[in-house]
Structure 1
Amino acid sequence: MAVRKLQCIPPAVRSVRTGIAAALPKQTKAIYLSPEWRGLISRLLAQRGRRCEVCGRTGCRIFGDHIHELKDGGAPLDPGNIRLLCGSCHSGKTARVRAIRTRETLTR
């Protein structure tokens, strides 16, 4: 049996400069800057209290989170579509929904 030597093939791309690609700045949707949204969140905080509706955490920043996201057709100013969440619960929920949306996009 003859023994063959493996040859190395030089890479097609020698190097990639990742430092020149800047991330796009996050853009806040206009709805979240509107007086209607701010008024709704103020009313919900007064009615429901300044606590996370998932974990019960208090003494932290509370976010108004759309249960059914706007990208998925959720009503922007419906109090029944808004949950008050702490940063941890809001980030986790947003990441889960984004992962589901990405998975659905990839399987189409």
Structure 2
Amino acid sequence: MPRLKCVGSSLQTVDTRIAKPLPKRAEAFYLSRPWRQLMNRLLKERGRVCQDCGRSDCRIFGDHRHELKDGGAALDPANIVLLCGSCHSRKTAKARADRNRMRPD
């Protein structure tokens, strides 16, 4: 049976030591005193537990059920759900995809 010969790649490799992503920056609202006070209060009331999956051994994020970009109330405790990083990323990606799907071309 004939053997296949490998063809060299025409793609160049990227030196990841110099190709670094830009650092993530938090929006000013999430660094504000009213947001921090609300988060401290919610963490004391609800505990440091993900309200979606129940994890408690991780960082907890305050996430708007109805996102600010979609007109959600910024400091309404009823609009805030406490989520672990995995649940927060999943929920945010879904909301972004839904928003992009609804956007007219």
Instruction: Please indicate the TM-score interval, normalised by the length of the shorter structure.
Output: 0.7 to 0.9
What residue identity is the alignment partner of 1:66?
Answer: H
Q: TM-score, normalised by structure 1?
A: 0.74
What residue in structure 1 maps to residue 70 of structure 2?
72
Q: Could you tell me which runs of 5 or more consecutive residues in structure 2 were left unpaired when the two chains were aligned.
A: 1-13
Separation in structure 2 between the aligned mates of residue 93 and residue 37 of structure 1, nearest angstrom: 20
Q: TM-score, normalised by structure 2?
A: 0.76
| 1:23 shift after superposition | 6.1
Match of 2:36 among 27, 35, 38: 38
| 1:59 shift after superposition | 1.0
Moved >6 Å (runs of 4+)? none
Deviations along 1:20-71, one digit per CA (max 9) or x if unpaired, are xx86654321110001101100000000010000001111000000000000
Structure having the higher helix fraction is: 1
1:1-108 to 2 correspondences below 5 Å? 26-105=24-103, 107-108=104-105
Structure 1 or 2, whichever has the larger Rg, is 1
Separation in structure 2 between the aligned mates of residue 25 and residue 73 of structure 1, nearest angstrom: 27
What residue identity is the alignment partner of 2:65?
Answer: I
Separation in structure 2 between the aligned mates of residue 28 and residue 59 of structure 1, nearest angstrom: 23
Separation in structure 2 between the aligned mates of residue 23 and residue 103 of structure 1, nearest angstrom: 27
When the two structures are aligned, how many residues end up with a matched partner? 90
CA RMSD for the aligned pairs?
2.0
What residue identity is the alignment partner of 2:79?
Answer: N
Query: Aligned with 1:53: secondary structure?
Result: coil
